[in-house]
Amino acid sequence: MSRPLRIGVAGLGTVGVGLLKLLDAQADLLERRCGRRLLVSAVSARRRERARGIDISALAWCANPAELAARADVDVVAELIGGEAGPARATVEAALARTKPVVTANKALLARHGAALARAAEAAGVALAYEAAVAGGIPIVKALREGLAGNRFERVYGILNGTCNYILTEMQQTGRPFAEVLAEAQRAGYAEADPAFDVDGIDAAHKLAILASLAYGAETNYDAIHVEGIRKISAVDIAYARELGFCIKLLAIVRRTADGIESRVHPAMVPLDTPIASVGGVFNAVVAEGDFVGRAVFEGRGAGEGPTASAVAADLCDIARGLRLPTFGVPADRLEAAPVSPMLKHFGPYYVRLNVLDRPGVIADISAILRDLRISIGSLLQRGRSPDEAVPVVMVTHETEEKAMLAALDRIGRLTAVREPPMMIRIERL
């Protein structure tokens, strides 16, 4: 029997408490699987005394989480504090500086400083593992880095934010407006008091930055991601989507184009018969399209105490078993600063909803603008007639460059008969 792996846990929020519960409940199972025991030797949190449902009295306590790394009885540091700077970053850097492996659930930190931390981990000769940072309990980091390592990825996309998916699923099932469902999600604990991080797409973009790096061996580049949230999605658009054979999901998508790497987070219309369309509520899903494997789909719980603890434990098992992998799938000195494929060159179909005065010539004016920008309309819906009142007009375009689409929407929005700013949602071919 090898000696135990002694873990210093920084952060005792949902994830940290979940990890302690898991390591306690599965102690014998993990010993059998890893050939050694996994023990928590020391912990750190903002306050030592607090009702957490676990007993930490037998564990060493560090007031400052960065001090965990300095302890002789800590072999590996689990950073479960969160945030792209402050004590989280200091804790990770302190551990790597002392050549101790790190497990983290911190997507913001990796999205912002992933490449530099990968280099630090490699210089130290230790693992920097982060399965819990993307898609909760779904082992997607391992799948991209190892299980699908024989593939060039055409595209990787997914539903990476459970809060948004819960809200959109509820809106779809009940027809209620965004604000009402958000308020309910906040009461139920599925959304934060300040929901911006989730509903504006930032959390999904952090995760996408990591997936992009893994899929393409590229330096993490959060700023390259085009990010839109779901606040603008209305029940009307959800109803039209269904009528057209789509549902609306907040998708995070990365793919390689002729210009570089295109990465984007935005609401997208996806066909109802694709696997990801039926991923509802707080579930996450990731689809990897590889040139040999074809389409591989991974679905599971994207957040919460149990699933996140499962992912952290998987990383700890890897370390206990002596496995060390390049952080983003290639050695850190071979990570590329990949060129960014600009969003204005995005090419795809679009859904557009207009609110126009019902009078002769309006459709002709809109059609002329689209023609001048060489945008071809696939279908157009105009329901009901209310002469000289506002009515909705819905169009689906054929594949179009984003730059032309934005120019068209700008011109259309300035027509006097168009009463509201045009609503545009990208359609994703899956």
Q: Which residues are catalytic?
A: 207
291, 372, 389, 420: which one contacts its own copies (CB under 8 A)? 291
Binding window for its own copies (CB under 8 A); candidates: 20-28, 196-204, 342-350, 392-400: 20-28
Q: Is 334 in the site for its own copies (CB under 8 A)?
A: yes
Q: Measured between alpha carbons, how far is 278 from 249 in angstroms, rounded to an integer?
A: 10
- Please provide residue 247's backbone torsions phi and psi, each rounded to the nearest 5 degrees: -125, 165
Q: Applying CB under 8 A, which part among 23-31, 54-62, 245-253, 349-357 lies near its own copies? A: 23-31
Dig out the tokens for 325 from the structure.
């992998």
Letter string b/e over residues 244-280, b meaning 16 or more CB atoms within 10 A of that residue's CB: bebbbbbbbbbbbeeebbbbbbbbbbbeeebebbebb
Q: Is 27 in the site for its own copies (CB under 8 A)?
A: no
Question: How many residues form the binding site for its own copies (CB under 8 A)?
Answer: 57
To its own copies, the closest distance from the beta carbon of 149 in angstroms equals: 4
Q: Is 175 in the site for its own copies (CB under 8 A)?
A: no
**Shorter beta-carbon distance to its own copies: residue 175 or 331:** 331
243 contributes a contact to its own copies by CB under 8 A: no
Q: Check binding of 298 to its own copies (CB under 8 A).
A: yes
165 forms part of the interface with its own copies (CB under 8 A): no
278 binds its own copies (CB under 8 A): yes
Would you give the distance in Å from CA 369 to the centre of its chain? 36
From residue 94 to residue 133, what is the string marking binding to its own copies with x (rule CB under 8 A)? -------------------------------------x--
Q: Is there a contact between 424 and 350 (Cβ–Cβ < 8 Å)?
A: yes
| Distances from the Cα of 123 to the Cα of 5, 104, 131, 293, 333, angstroms | 22, 18, 21, 33, 10
For its own copies, the closer CB: 97 or 314: 314
> Which CB, 127 or 396, lies closer to its own copies?
127
Interface mask (CB under 8 A) for its own copies, residues 306-325, using x and -?
A: xx-xxxxxx-xxx--x-x-x
Evaluate the CA torsion angle 168, 195, 402, 390 in order and state its sign: positive
Among 150, 189, 360, 387, binds its own copies (CB under 8 A): 150
113, 84 Cβ separation under 8 angstroms: yes
Is residue 368 a contact residue for its own copies (CB under 8 A)?
no
Please identify, using beta-carbon distances, which residue of 319 and 412 lies nearer to its own copies.
319
Distance between CA atoms of residues 309 and 160, nearest Å: 17
Residue closer to its own copies (CB basis): 237 or 315: 315
Q: How far apart are CA 277 and CA 246, in angstroms?
A: 8
Judged by beta carbon, residue 34 or residue 254, the one nearer its own copies is 34
Per the structure block, which two tokens stand in for 127?
């693992």
Of the candidate spans 109-117, 140-148, 345-353, 366-374, the one that interacts with its own copies by CB under 8 A turns out to be 140-148
Q: Which helix (H) or strand (E) holds 174?
A: helix 162-174
Q: Report helix, strand or coil for 380.
A: strand
Does residue 299 interact with its own copies by CB under 8 A? Answer: yes
Least Å from the CB of residue 199 to its own copies: 24
Tell me the backbone φ, ψ of residue 46, rounded to 5 degrees. -65, -45
Strands 390-397 and 423-427: unpaired
> Can you tell me which of 9, 120, 143, 241 binds its own copies, judged by CB under 8 A?
143
Question: CB-based contacts of 251: which residues, under 8 Å, 6+ apart?
Answer: 157, 158, 159, 265, 266, 267, 268, 270, 276, 428
Of 70, 330, 357, 369, the residue at the interface with its own copies (CB under 8 A) is 330
Residues at the contact surface with its own copies, assessed by CB under 8 A? 18, 22, 25-26, 29-30, 32-35, 131, 137-139, 142-143, 146-152, 217, 275, 278, 290-301, 306-307, 309-314, 316-318, 321, 323, 325-326, 329-331, 334
